Structure 1
Amino acid sequence: MTITPTDFATCARELDKTDPLRDYPARFLGSDDPEIVAYLDGNSLGRPTRATAQRLAAFVTEGWGGRLIRGWDEHWFDLPLTIGDRIGATVLGAAAGQTTVGDSTTVLLYKLARGALALRPDRTEIVLDRDNFPTDRYLLESIATDLELTLRWIEPDVAGGVTTQEVVDAVSERTALVVLSHVAYRSGYLLDAPAVCAATHDAGALLLLDLCHSAGSVELELDTWAIDFAVGCTYKYLNGGPGAPAFAYVADAHQADFTQPIWGWMGRENPFEMAQGYVPAAGIRRVISGTPAIVGMLPIQDTLDLIEEVGMAAVRAKSMALTEFAIELGRNWLLPLGVQVSSPLDSARRGGHVTIDHPRFREVTPRLWQRGVIPDFRPPQGIRLGLSPLSTTFGEVLAGLSAIRDELLAY
């Protein structure tokens, strides 16, 4: 894409006019709200679709209100698996029977990490990086303390991310598990997942990927890449809503021997027998513990409908175009004001968001919100621009970067 810096407003209009996904932002609630000038935080909380508003209303009156407890036998009991299979096929590049929905990202990350470590009982180390999302780091610190394991830390470039060579240097015959984010939550760095997976397997270890900033923004091929385990949230690019349940992927090759530590009745073989003793269900159902959050799963289906219409290749192409435009605006408007781009400049190594840094951004962010421009702040001095491909326009990117420039010029 060639961007002419002389007239960015004209460029934004032309990009929106020729965008193959130009009709999709209107399918989201809030797209016509005059108080929201630019929503640039879709990688933290995606907009709801208009279809979701209708689905939730219908569920209250017809599904929940109409079917009552009968809903479990008719539809709800298998919903974590049926939606899991849709996420796998549409977003993850995963065959059926390997993905389920339920619990938070934190709980599923705990389940998968503990289950993976149990498959390597004679090994003593977990490899992770200092720049991963805090929950990932805290959780693994807790697990390592409980199991008396050693954490082997990678120190990545904060404007980049973990390289394959850094993984090669960190793993050894002591490594049981490598836990990394596929897209770095701050910089947006896109991990070379196939190469990292191969390096992990060469050491005899297992790989657990955090896909929270990947699912719905970049193309994934978990089966082809031979990924062992993955977890991700659904309230970002999958627009599941605040607190929507996360998903877990366990490769078919590991399922027969995989045991997760939170045993509950819904993950047991023949759960309605209410029998004594826990016997894990066959397949991916063994990841489930308690009663799944049915209401929380409903909105995910509407975004999956949209992605199935256009395909992840089109979503990724729009994502790359949005971030390229944001970086070009930043290069022309913000770098002269002391702003630094803290994301990879190569779009092949960048996910769906861009982080820019400036010492005044902590003060600037609430002022932007007052103007109807909504990014998020990431310490110590970053604004993160989350550009959700299905719901974000190039005009929003233009308005958002223009407002940031105006705020910095006001000081």
Structure 2
Amino acid sequence: MALEKARGLDQSDPLAAKRALFSIPHDTIYLDGNSLGVMSHAVNERVADVTRRQWGKDLITSWNKHGWIDLPITVGDRIGKLIGAAPGQVICCDSISINLFKVLCAALQIQSGRTQFVSTEDNFPTDLYMIQGVERLLGDRCSLTTVAEDDLIASITEETAAVVVTEVNFRTGRRLDLAKITAQAHDKGALVIVDLAHSAGAMPVTLDALGIDFAVGCTYKYLNAGPGAPAFVYVAKKWLSSDFAGALQPLFGWLGHAEPFAFSPQYTGASGIRQFLVGTPPIISLSAVDAALDAFEDVSMEAIREKSLQLMEFWLSCMGDHGLLTIMPCVSPTEGTIRGSQLSFAHDDAYAICQALIARGVVADFRAPNYLRFGFAPLYNTYEDVARAVARLSEIVYSGAYQDKAFQSRAAVT
């Protein structure tokens, strides 16, 4: 019955045609787009063109001839359309960690006299690590306070320099209320720094409308740009035109210079978002990001979000039909509007179950301490994917197949 219903839902899905844009391995149900998105045919073709024709034949002339030098800006503006940012406020470069370092230092510069960063205890660890690194670097000029998610808003005070928050919790999928967080932060004179790693490409984001000060995010999850693809950084227009313009972040690299090809020994930062560049951009991977964004050109983020919610509800319904929810309870919010595009389930043998699923062609992932995590990418996931994956999950759980020794040993990447 579930499979029949799934096929009916797929037939009426307005995004169904998008699946053909992606290179999905045969007999694979891929539910790990919240870790690494599927490669699109456009990415494959663009990377081949960049390596064979642009780099291969036009060589160094491609910096001008093929617009390589402007890729961080042009790609950044394309990402900006998906996260509610006007042109000139997003640039694609470096990694989330490096970009977060830049904006942490920018926040401390703007908030002279304030030293406290407030974040959540279960924020993605690298975000906390970067603050700890700045804390070690600057001593008493920087401090980190972590609190439970439910206590975050109440913990923002006049002492807070900035709130550092990931919109969607990577473990549970809980979506935090950026509007309330931002309102409280600004009321207390604090800035807001948002990590969009599990938001960009999966749901509507409205950075400008919310008044977010800074944001960072990656492109290899829901944006499908490939492993280790460059991240992005958003800076609100008011900070790009402030008294600090040209010197907001401390990594003074030559391509962040106002005149990089003047080769001056003294640094003068560019006046806009370009100052957040550091070194030479990775053109092959940046080109992959650019091509990956083609899949979003003629679809609204609202439509993507609607299908995401429907896929998750269908997943929960199928698990309920198989009696799985009492065996592996859902740790994600029951209300769809307050979760991202993932569902997480608790089970003492979650890792082994995940490996057994992968062996049966269903790719999910595991997150400590004991969560089995499924990510839903509406551009290529189908309702039939859901029905078939839950059926295989049910067989694994009830047969005890996951207890096989082959599924017990943990690999380096979980």
TM-score, normalized by the shorter chain, greater than 0.5 = yes
Distance 1:199 1:246 in 2: 28
Give runs of aligned pairs for residues 69-148 of structure 1, distance below 5 A. Answer: 69-74=60-65, 75-89=67-81, 91-147=82-138, 148=140
Of residues 327, 337, 346 in structure 2, which corresponds to 1:348? 337
Q: 1:69-111 deviations in whole A, cap 9, x for unaligned?
A: 111123111110011011102x111100000001011111111
Distance 1:309 1:137 in 2: 36
- Please state whether the residue corresponding to 2:136 is helix, strand or coil: helix
- Cα distance, 1:333 vs structure 2: 2.1
- Please state whether the residue corresponding to 1:262 is helix, strand or coil: coil
Asked if the contact 2:73/2:92 (under 8 Å) is kept, the reply is yes
- Cα distance, 1:337 vs structure 2: 4.9
| Matching of residue 55 in structure 1 with residue 46 in structure 2 | yes
Give runs of aligned pairs for residues 265-344 of structure 1, distance below 5 A. Answer: 265-335=254-324, 337-344=326-333
- Cα distance, 1:146 vs structure 2: 2.2
- Cα distance, 1:150 vs structure 2: 2.5
- Cα distance, 1:286 vs structure 2: 0.4
Aligned residue pairs, count? 393
Letter in 2 for 1:218: M
Asked if the contact 2:114/2:160 (under 8 Å) is kept, the reply is yes
Distance 1:360 1:195 in 2: 37
Q: 1:353-402 deviations in whole A, cap 9, x for unaligned?
A: 11111112121111111111110001111111011110111111112222
Q: 1:271-330 deviations in whole A, cap 9, x for unaligned?
A: 001101111111000000000111111122233222121121111111111111112222
Q: 1:254-287 deviations in whole A, cap 9, x for unaligned?
A: 1132521211100011000110111111100000
Letter in 2 for 1:281: A
The residue that corresponds to 1:223 in the other structure is 208
The residue that corresponds to 1:382 in the other structure is 371
Distance 1:303 1:21 in 2: 16
- Please state whether the residue corresponding to 2:119 is helix, strand or coil: strand
- Cα distance, 1:334 vs structure 2: 4.4
Distance 2:306 2:159 in 1: 40
Distance 1:301 1:391 in 2: 18
- Cα distance, 1:332 vs structure 2: 2.9
The residue that corresponds to 1:10 in the other structure is 4
Asked if the contact 1:127/1:178 (under 8 Å) is kept, the reply is yes
Asked if the contact 2:120/2:146 (under 8 Å) is kept, the reply is yes
Distance 1:348 1:176 in 2: 29
Of residues 376, 380, 399 in structure 1, which corresponds to 2:388? 399
Asked if the contact 1:267/1:287 (under 8 Å) is kept, the reply is yes
Letter in 2 for 1:263: F
Letter in 2 for 1:123: R
The residue that corresponds to 2:196 in the other structure is 211
| Matching of residue 153 in structure 1 with residue 146 in structure 2 | yes
Distance 2:153 2:100 in 1: 23
Asked if the contact 1:167/1:199 (under 8 Å) is kept, the reply is no
Letter in 1 for 2:16: R
TM-score normalised to the size of structure 2? 0.92
The residue that corresponds to 2:354 in the other structure is 365
Distance 2:367 2:297 in 1: 32
Q: Structure 2, unaligned stretches of length 5 or more?
A: 401-414
Distance 2:160 2:75 in 1: 33
Distance 1:334 1:107, change over 3 A: farther
Q: 1:208-233 deviations in whole A, cap 9, x for unaligned?
A: 00000000001011101000000000
Letter in 2 for 1:57: A
- Cα distance, 1:190 vs structure 2: 1.3
